[in-house]
Structure 1
C-alpha cells in the first residue's frame, strides 16, 4: 500500500496496487499448490497432503490460471496507461481518468474469468474403492478442439502473442521517451524525476516479464504434443514445466523489488511509510 494512503489515488497508483495484489495471489497459490508438494516430496512426510492434493489441482489450479492471466494483462494495462501519459499526453486526462482505469480493470477481470471457465471443468475429484480421493479428467480434455483450439491456439493468442506484442510496442515507445528525458534530467523538477523513474522502473518490469514468459509457450506446446509425459520426471516436458513455473513466479516476486531498486520516488515513499514520517502523494505517480 505504498502508493495509496487516501481516496485521492491516482490512476497509476490503482494499477500498481492491482499489480501488487495479483502478484501476491500468484505467489500464494503457487506456494499452496506447488511449493508444499515439493517440500513433502523432499521430506517424505505430509501424508495428509496427498488427501487434499487432488482438490488443490482440481479447484485451486483453475483459480491460479485465472490469476496468472490477470497478472499478464495487468502488466499490459499499467504499461498502456504509462504509454498514454508519456506519449499521448494530450489525451491522458481523458483516457487515464480513475473511472476509465477502473472500468478497464473490471473488463480485464471479467475477460480473464470467462476465458478460463473451461479450466474449471477439466479435472474433478473421484473416490477410489479404498475411499481415497484422486484426480480424474473430464471428457472435454480428450477433445482435439479443446486441446489444439483452446489450449494451444487461444492460449498462445491471449496469454503470449497479443500481450507480449502490446507491451513490447508500448515499452519501445517509452524507452524512446526515456532517452529524450535523460538528456535534460538535470533541468527536471522533482515530480518530473519521479515520473521518469517510474517509467524506467516499468521498462525494467516489462523486460523481466518478457524474459520470464519465453519458456511457458514451449512448455505448453510440448504438453499438447506429449500429454502423457508432462509429469514424468526425466522427460523434456517435465523440465520445461518446472522452469516455466519458476520463471512465472519469479516474475511476480520481482516486480516490487524492481520498483524499489529503480524508482527513487517509490523507494522514498516506501521509507516514509515504514518510518511514519510522511504520507504518500499519489499525484506524483500520474
Structure 2
C-alpha cells in the first residue's frame, strides 16, 4: 500500500493491545499490522490517508498518537529540531527568569510568543532586557535543571547511525544549545547569543536574531548542502517560530505543541515521547541506537 498509519502509545499510560490495534485497523480499513515495539508502536498499511475524524473516533480519546506518511521515502536524511519544550523539557529563558525573580512575568510573554500572538524578535528582546544585571552563575544553575525529553538521544543517534544529518536549531541561546547538542549527539547547533560583560547579563542579545525565518532557512540550507530534496527532511518543534520549517519538511512534527502549531502541522505527537519520530519513519525499537 502507498501509505502507512503508525500508532504510538504513551508507554507509561496504556498498552497498545491487539484489541485496540484491530479496532483502529478495522475503522481505517487497514492491512495487516506490523509491530515496531511490542505494546507501544505498530504500523498499519493503508491505501489512502485515513479520514482524521474517523481515526480520532477510533482512538476514542486514548493516549495514542497516529501519524500517516507515504511508504516511499519514509526514512529521512536530515533532522532539524527545536530545543526548548522539544528536545528538552521546559523553556530555558523562563528558568533563567526564575532566578531573577520574574519567572511568571517572562513565562507569560513566552507563552504568547510561542502561540504566535507576539512578534518573536520583539518578544525575545523584551524578555532579555528584563534579565539585565542577572549574574552569569544563573546560566549554570539553569543548566543543572535541564531535563532531556525521553527518546531524544535515541532519535538523534539512530538517525545519525543511518547516515542522516542532525541539527539543533533554536530561538534559545548558544550557552544551552551547545551543551544539549553535545549531550544528545547533534552534529551542529544554531541559536542566539546572550551578551554579558563578564559578570552579568547586559540585557541584550546579539543581532541578527535567529527566528522563524532563520529556522526555515536552516532547513533549506542544510538540505541543499547534502543535495537533499525537502521531502527527505524531518523537522520537529512546538512553537509558532517552528511552524514554517515544520510545514516545509518532508515530515513535519508538532511535538506536544501550542494550539496554532498543532492545528497546522502535518503530523503531531501529543502523548508519546521522541521515539515516536523514529516509529513514524518505520524504525523498530530493536534498531534504535543509544
Q: Would you call these one fold, judging by a TM-score over 0.5?
A: no
Larger radius of gyration: 1
Classify the TM-score, shorter chain. Answer: under 0.3
Instruction: Please state which structure has a larger fraction of its residues in strand.
Output: 2
- Higher relative contact order, structure no. (Cα contacts within 8 Å, ≥ 6 residues apart): 1
TM-score (norm 2): 0.27
